């Protein structure tokens, strides 16, 4: 795409159905996404499924041998789930 044209594009010029993405990413990045993925269907996973490995790493590093309840409260999980995450370490 012609850089001059892309630089003149403003948020209000983007169709409403795509404006949320452009607001979050910025117009320039939105254009890059259109160039890379234009014409395809794109699925965005929930953020929790993307950040889960880092969350689990934190839980394992904070585990002291018995603080299941505290970790469950801190991370919004049930104790059973915390136990499963800690057990995966072994």
**Under 8 Å CB-to-CB from 83, ≥6 apart: which residues?**
68
**Contact assessment for residue 71 and residue 62, using Cβ atoms and an 8 Å cutoff:** yes
Residues 29, 55, single domain; the answer is no
* Count: domains in the chain: 2
pLDDT in tens, 10-39: 999 999 999 999 999 999 999 999 999 999
Using a pLDDT cut of 70, give the percent of the chain over it: 93
pLDDT band at 8 (very low <50, low <70, confident <90, very high): confident
Instruction: Report the distance separating Cα 69 and Cα 75, nearest Å.
Output: 10
DSSP 89: T
Domain with 17 in it:
3-37
Helix or strand run (H / E) with residue 27? helix 27-37
Is residue 42 domain-resident? no
Q: Is the pTM of this model over 0.85?
A: no
Same domain for 52 and 33: no
Q: Give the HSE-up count for residue 9: Cα atoms under 13 Å, Cβ half-sphere.
A: 19
């Amino acid at each position: 795409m012609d850089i001059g044209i892309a630089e003149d594009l403003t948020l209000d010029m983007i169709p409403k159905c795509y404006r949320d993405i452009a607001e979050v990413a910025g117009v320039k990045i939105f254009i890059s996404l259109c160039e890379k993925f234009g014409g395809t269907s794109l699925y965005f996973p929930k953020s929790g499924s993307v950040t889960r490995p880092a969350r689990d790493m934190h839980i394992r590093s904070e585990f002291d041998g018995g603080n299941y309840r505290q970790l469950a409260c801190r991370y919004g999980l049930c104790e059973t789930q915390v136990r499963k995450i800690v057990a995966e370490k072994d």
